[in-house]
Structure formats: structure tokens, C-alpha cells
Amino acid sequence: MKITIFGTGYVGLVTGTCFAEAGNDVLCVDIDEERIEQLNDGEVPIYEPGLEDMLACNMDEGRLRFTTDAAEGVAHGQFQFIAVGTPPDEDGSADLSHVLAVARTIGEHIDDYRVVVDKSTVPVGTADRVHAAILEAMEARGVDVAFDVVSNPEFLKEGAAIEDFMKPDRIIVGAENPAAVALMRDLYAPFNRNHDRLIFMDVRSAELTKYASNAMLATKISFMNELSNLAERLGADIEEVRRGMGSDPRIGYHFIYPGCGYGGSCFPKDVQALARTARQAHYEPELLDAVEAVNHRQKRHLVRRIRHYFEDNLERRTFALWGLAFKPNTDDMREAPSRVIMEALWDAGARVRAYDPEAQDEAARLYPDEAGLELCGSPYDALEGADALIICTEWQVFRSPDFDRMRRLLSEPVIFDGRNLYDPEKMLAAGFVYYGIGRGESVDTLI
Ligand SMILES: NC(=O)c1ccc[n+]([C@@H]2O[C@H](COP(=O)([O-])OP(=O)(O)OC[C@H]3O[C@@H](n4cnc5c(N)ncnc54)[C@H](O)[C@@H]3O)[C@@H](O)[C@H]2O)c1
Ligand SMILES: O=c1ccn([C@@H]2O[C@H](COP(=O)(O)OP(=O)(O)O[C@H]3O[C@H](CO)[C@@H](O)[C@H](O)[C@H]3O)[C@@H](O)[C@H]2O)c(=O)[nH]1
């Protein structure tokens, strides 16, 4: 099948590459010339495990191509995927300008039946706006070509994106026209072999399913973070509580890890956008607001602990920080808790020696002139002479480090662990002052 993908970010690149891997003829379009040039040279602009090899292999086989030529893109694919960004606007609502720009482009060039598939995360009603934008551009040209607009939200997780796309839990398709339903079923047949993972529904329900899923997951995390703060005050250990709760299959073990807050390009913006949608529909989203507020507070939790420990004087102190990315196995630092923590430390006059296996280039790009940031060659380099270690991301390499070496390198053996990687009792026995999240040590005077 011939497929065009608009947008070569995390979603567009993974979608395009995986469809090509299934034997389709895929053309990816982006307005970012530098990015397309890089991709045509075989360079992958993001870190996503498995992507580079799969992309190279499909480019070699001629099934995957990249261009900035939107007209060529519209001419190519019977399926026109929209996978461009929908960043938050100032009021928290989703900025649809990129999505609607692609819709207009399709309307300007369409000359045969097309299924326009919206893969970007967009508020309920966006498919209608995409439809109207295509129609308007077609009418301006005086042409009338049949097309369908379908909602097909994406559920991949960064760091596991290829696996999530190739073996999805479910494929949600919102489509009204039976012809478009049939085409979408054929398109996804290779990813739908053992159980039927395709769930068809009306377009608006599909659009809402995406926000509902992300908001539910974010709610689980904020709930656990709220409980972790309570556990600290009550002298309980949230890790024991988590194990106890997770063993109930109605609750489950997934997404109940307390930490230094959720980040990334999706949960923060999608919770806010859904709350905004609710307000526009004259509904007060009390739970969603609380999920967001708890997360905002949680990202500052370790900073309060650190301030408390150092008696509110961080001037000229140096902190080692492990993990810049918002989660392991990605180089993405969008909304990462590490950023909130580093920025607060810099504001207080401290310096940060940071290490991340993949996100250091991104940190250098985000903070080019920050004198308080030093990017280090290894986790141990970062510790040299630091007053304490702060852990923001649970990369595998941080799970079983050489604690003796760490103690020797740190000028004070103090660890603020935002991901509960270690056993507090063992850390105490190893001579560390160790603070996790929700583990029976309260700094409630400061919270
Ligand atoms: N990142 C994720 O893990 C993830 C997962 C599921 C859904 N989503 C959703 O998918 C969408 C895309 O997310 P992303 O993280 O891939 O975004 P991204 O910011 O990484 O990439 C978006 C790309 O679209 C390109 N673009 C913008 N306007 C364009 C246009 N008119 N024509 C062609 N290309 C254009 C940009 O240059 C950029 O390369 C968002 O709505 C997001 O919420 C993201
Ligand atoms: O128990 C948990 C699980 C996750 N997190 C944090 O939550 C954030 C998001 O993690 P994750 O969901 O694994 O990553 P994303 O790549 O942002 O994926 C989410 O957002 C995507 C974009 O919409 C969706 O497609 C995915 O289904 C959804 O999981 C990260 O900061 C994690 O550290 C926790 O704090 N505790």
C-alpha cells in the first residue's frame, strides 16, 4: 500500500518505518529541511532503540523515503497520515496550527480519493476541522475529490516505540465511512494477526479515547505520588504499599511507581488539554486539575528535600545529577523533572554535574549558555567532588552501581533518589544518607 506520513518526529518516524517494515511503500514529509537532509543521509535525529537499523534497512530496500515536497506527499499515498506536533498553547489547549496546515496542504494538492488519518493527539472535534480545512482548500481550486478523515490515535511509548507499534495492545480507529473502515482494516492487518486488536468506533470517541488513556495513566502516577507524600508523614514505605496494592489485579502493577513527577511530551500537555476541553464544554475538571497540580508539586519535591538537608543554603554547592531524559531509553527532555530540579538549583546558586546515557546532546542544546551545568563522561565522573547525588531517571546502568566508589567520589555521601532505585536499609549500612520518595522520612515543615 502507498502511505504518506506528514511529520517525522517520534510518532511519524516510527509509524513510517514500521509500515515500511510491513512491506508498504512509505513517503515521509516534513517542513524541517535539515531533518529531512539528515534522514536522507541515514541519520536518525532521535534516539529510539531499534529505529536506526530498521530505518536503514527499509531505506535500502526502497520502501521508505523522505522529502520536504508536500505536493509529492499528497500525490503518493492513498493514506495520508498526519503525525505533526500538537504542543500546548498558552491556555493549555492543544495548538492545532500544524495539523490544520497539513490539512490545507492536502486540500491544495489532492486529485484522487484519499484517507486522511489523524495520528496526532487532538481534541474532540478536530477531525471535523481537518475535513473543513481540506474542503476549503479544494473549493478554492474549484475541484471536488472524495476523501475521508479518520482518527487513529497513537499509543506508543518513547523508548519502546517500535515494540509498541509492531505489537500494539489495541489499534483505535474512529471512522464513519465503511469504505474507510475496510481500508484501515487492510492497512493494519499485518499488526493484527493473533487477536483482533482493531477497535472501530465513531471519530469523536476515538479522539477522546487517546486523552482518556493518558489522563488515566497520569492519574495513577499522581495518586501514587500523593500517597507517597502521605507515607512520608506516616512513617510508611510507599514501595511496600505499591507492592501490596499492585497485587490486586483490579489495580495492577503498571504505572503505580512513585517518583519525582511525570514528564515527557504527552502526559503534561494532554492532561492540561483535556482539562481545557472540559472547561470549554462547561464542565469543571476537578480530578484532572488535581492530577496536574500534584505533578507540579512533585517535580519540586526533591528540591525541597535538598534545601531542607542543606539548611536552605545551596550557594556554591555542587550536585551530581544522574538522568536528564524524562524517562529511560530516550534522549527526550521535554517536561523532564531533571529540568525543574536543575533550574531550581541554578537559581539558588548551585552547580550541576550531570550524566545521562543519551540525553546529553539535548541538554547542551537546551542550555547552551548555562555556566552552572557540566556534562560528564560517566556516572562516576559526575560524582567527583559533588555535595550530593540526585537521581532523576531510572536508566538500567544506575541500578547496580559501585557504591564504594561512589562514596569515595562524593564529598558528602548523600543521595536524593527520585526513582526509588535502592534499598534504604542497605544504603544506610553502606554509609550513605539516603532519601527516596515516600519512604518514611518527612520534610513536611517545608512542603
Ligand atoms: N512522542 C510520543 O511518544 C507520542 C506518542 C503518541 C502520540 N503522540 C502525539 O503525536 C503527535 C506528534 O508527536 P511527536 O512527539 O512525534 O512530535 P515531534 O515534535 O517530535 O515531531 C513533529 C514533526 O512534525 C513536523 N511538522 C510540523 N509541521 C509540519 C507540516 N506542516 N508538514 C510536515 N511536517 C510538519 C515537525 O517539523 C516535526 O519534525 C503529537 O500530537 C503527540 O501528542 C506523541
Ligand atoms: O509508574 C510510573 C510510570 C511512568 N512514570 C513517568 O511518567 C512519564 C511518562 O512515561 P511513559 O508513559 O512511559 O512515557 P511516554 O513516552 O510519555 O508515553 C505516554 O504518552 C504517550 C504519548 O501520548 C502515549 O502514547 C503512551 O501510551 C503513554 O504511556 C515519565 O516521566 C515516567 O517517568 C512514573 O512516574 N511512574
Instruction: For 378-435, write each residue's pLDDT tens digit.
Output: 999 999 999 999 999 999 999 999 999 999 999 999 999 999 999 999 999 999 999 9
Where is the domain boundary, 147, 171, 201? 201
- As for how many domains the chain has, the answer is 2
Number of other CB atoms surrounding residue 90 within 10 Å: 6
pLDDT band at 195 (very low <50, low <70, confident <90, very high): confident
The per-residue b/e assignment along 151-165, b for 16 or more CB within 10 angstroms, e otherwise, is bbbbbbebbbbbebb
Say which of 28, 266, 376, 392 is annotated catalytic: 266
318-322 β-sheet, strand order: 373-375, 351-355, 318-322, 388-391, 414-417, 433-435
Same domain membership, residue 157 and residue 277: no
Q: Which ligand number lies closest to the CA of residue 94?
A: 1
Same domain membership, residue 211 and residue 157: no
Q: Is 30 annotated for ligand binding?
A: yes
Same domain membership, residue 216 and residue 109: no
- For ligand 1, atom 1, the nearest C-alpha belongs to 10
Same domain membership, residue 339 and residue 217: yes
φ and ψ at residue 415, rounded to 5 degrees: -130, 130
Round the average pLDDT of the chain to a whole number and report it. 96
Distance 290 CA to ligand 2 centre (A): 18
Q: Which ligand number lies closest to the CA of residue 391?
A: 2
CA 230 – CA 169 distance, rounded (Å): 34
Does 266 qualify as catalytic in the annotation?
yes
Whether residue 446 is predicted with pLDDT greater than 50 in this model: the reply is no
CA 385 – CA 4 distance, rounded (Å): 52
Whether residue 168 is predicted with pLDDT greater than 70 in this model: the reply is yes
Q: Determine the average pLDDT of the residues in 354-375.
A: 97
Position of cell 544506575? 398
Q: Do residues 258 and 236 touch, judged by C-beta distance below 8 A?
A: no
Q: Is 297 left (phi over 0), alpha (psi -120 to 50) or beta?
A: alpha
For residue 290, give the nearest of 278, 304, 308, 305 by alpha carbon: 278
Same domain membership, residue 292 and residue 197: no
What beta strand segments (E) does 159-261 contain? 171-174, 198-201
Residue 443 confidence (pLDDT): 55
Number of other CB atoms surrounding residue 412 within 10 Å: 15
pLDDT band at 91 (very low <50, low <70, confident <90, very high): confident
Same domain membership, residue 246 and residue 196: no
User: Residue 144 burial by CB count (10 A; 0-12/13-18/19+): exposed, middle or buried?
Assistant: exposed
Position of cell 546532546? 361
Residue 442 confidence (pLDDT): 60
Whether residue 120 is predicted with pLDDT greater than 60 in this model: the reply is yes
For residue 81, give the nearest of 188, 177, 169, 164 by alpha carbon: 188
Give residue 380's domain range: 202-447
Residue from 121, 171, 260, 267 to probe ligand 2 pocket by mutation (most atoms less than 8 Å from CB): 267
Same domain membership, residue 210 and residue 129: no
Whether residue 103 is predicted with pLDDT greater than 60 in this model: the reply is yes
CA 218 – CA 167 distance, rounded (Å): 23
Distance 400 CA to ligand 1 centre (A): 35
Distance 264 CA to ligand 2 centre (A): 7
CA 413 – CA 203 distance, rounded (Å): 55
Same domain membership, residue 196 and residue 206: no
Q: What is the pLDDT of residues 418-432, one digit of tens each?
A: 999 999 999 999 999
CA 447 – CA 355 distance, rounded (Å): 28
Q: What is the DSSP letter of 446?
A: T
Same domain membership, residue 227 and residue 186: no
Where is the domain boundary, 169, 201, 233? 201
Grid cell in block for residue 118:
489523524
Is the CB of 133 inside a 6 Å radius of any atom of ligand 2?
Answer: no
Residue 92 confidence (pLDDT): 84
Whether residue 285 is predicted with pLDDT greater than 50 in this model: the reply is yes
CA 131 – CA 150 distance, rounded (Å): 10
CA 267 – CA 29 distance, rounded (Å): 26
ipTM: 0.98
Q: Determine the average pLDDT of the residues in 77-101.
A: 95
Where is the domain boundary, 167, 201, 235? 201
Return the CATH number at 282: 3.40.50.720
Number of other CB atoms surrounding residue 26 within 10 Å: 26
**Lowest mean pLDDT segment, chosen from 2-6, 46-50, 136-140, 323-327:** 46-50
For residue 122, give the nearest of 146, 145, 149, 153 by alpha carbon: 153
Q: How far is CA 335 from the centre of its chain?
A: 9
| CA geometry: angle 69, 72, 76, nearest 5 deg | 140
Same domain membership, residue 127 and residue 246: no
Same domain membership, residue 401 and residue 262: yes
Same domain membership, residue 152 and residue 116: yes
φ and ψ at residue 199, rounded to 5 degrees: -120, 115
Distance 152 CA to ligand 1 centre (A): 14
Q: Determine the average pLDDT of the residues in 78-100.
A: 94
